[in-house]
């Protein structure tokens, strides 16, 4: 049994994050950090992996790891089953938060905002660049529903493979993308003695306000 993790301590010493080196808006800084993470983070770490937090109708939070698939000035895009727990939660409470952590760079980014479905055309375009197995899996898996065992999932996949034996699978109506439209983006850079740098961007009146937060 783990009794205490007090001795599992790491001091962060790589570099700092100053206002002088930070832009007035957050997207260019995120792209810079993400580009650096692509070069430094090694398997099994995936630089585009992020935790996604949603809330259910009782206000209870739920969190899981997903992969970011697109970023533009509209927001951060990911894909999933619309009928999954997170899909149902976002349909009722259209707000979410995501966090990226890049341990090699001693950095994390927190993003909060409103979520909306991307267009059918965007979902369809991404669906068709996925590997065939992933496309079939989107049809086969009743995501978040209770199933008897692994064998049931394999039977569902076999039936799906038979269904699309003579044709390419098309994008399921229950599967597609969401875009998180950020209202807040916080950049965290680890520093010694837990005195980390935190630059917080808030969307205000169509622009961005940048503030420093105490660690």
Distance from C-alpha of 134 to C-alpha of 155, rounded to nearest angstrom: 16
Q: Determine whether the annotation assigns residue 210 to a binding site.
A: no
80 is in an annotated binding site: yes
Choosing from 92, 194, 211, 212, which is the catalytic residue? Answer: 194
- Please tell me whether 10 is known to bind a ligand: yes
- Any known ligand binding at 79? yes
Instruction: Give CA torsion, residues 140, 43, 113, 27, to 10 deg.
Output: -130
> Would you say 108 is a known binding-site residue?
yes
Instruction: Residue 35: count other Cβ atoms within 10 Å of its Cβ.
Output: 11
Cα separation of 67 and 51, whole Å? 8
Catalytic annotation present for 194: yes
Check the annotation: does 189 bind a ligand.
Answer: no
Answer yes or no: is 194 a known binding residue: yes
d(CA 139, CA 156): 9
Can you list the alpha helix ranges (DSSP code H) found in 6-149? 26-40, 85-92, 120-127, 132-140
Beta strands, E only, 135-174: none
User: Does the annotation place 52 within a ligand binding site?
Assistant: no
Q: Tell me if 68 is assigned to a ligand binding site.
A: yes
Q: What is the DSSP letter of 173?
A: T
Binding positions are: 9-12, 64-69, 79-80, 86, 108, 126, 130, 134, 143-144, 188, 194-196, 198
Binding positions for substrate are: 9-12, 69, 126, 130, 134, 194-196
Binding positions for FMN are: 64-69, 79-80, 86, 108, 143-144, 188, 198
Task: Give the active site residues.
Answer: 194
């Amino acid at each position: 049994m783990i009794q205490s993790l007090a001795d599992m301590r790491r001091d962060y010493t790589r570099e700092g994050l100053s206002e002088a080196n930070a832009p007035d808006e957050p997207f260019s800084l995120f792209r810079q950090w993400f580009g650096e993470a692509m070069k430094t983070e090694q398997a099994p770490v995936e630089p585009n992996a992020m935790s996604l937090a949603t809330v259910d109708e009782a206000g209870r939070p739920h969190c899981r790891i997903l992969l970011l698939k697109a970023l533009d000035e509209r927001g951060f895009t990911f894909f999933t089953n619309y009928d999954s727990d997170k899909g149902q939660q976002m349909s009722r409470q259209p707000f979410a938060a995501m966090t990226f952590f890049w341990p090699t760079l001693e950095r994390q980014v927190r993003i909060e905002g409103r979520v909306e479905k991307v267009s059918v055309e965007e979902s369809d375009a991404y669906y068709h660049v996925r590997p065939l197995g992933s496309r079939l899996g989107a049809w086969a898996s009743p995501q978040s529903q209770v199933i008897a065992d692994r064998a049931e999932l394999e039977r569902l996949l076999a039936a799906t493979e038979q269904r699309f034996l003579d044709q390419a699978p098309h994008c399921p109506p229950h599967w597609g993308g969401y875009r998180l439209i950020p209202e807040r983006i916080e950049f965290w850079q680890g520093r010694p003695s837990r005195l980390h740098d935190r630059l917080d961007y808030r969307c205000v009146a169509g622009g961005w306000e940048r503030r420093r937060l105490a660690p």
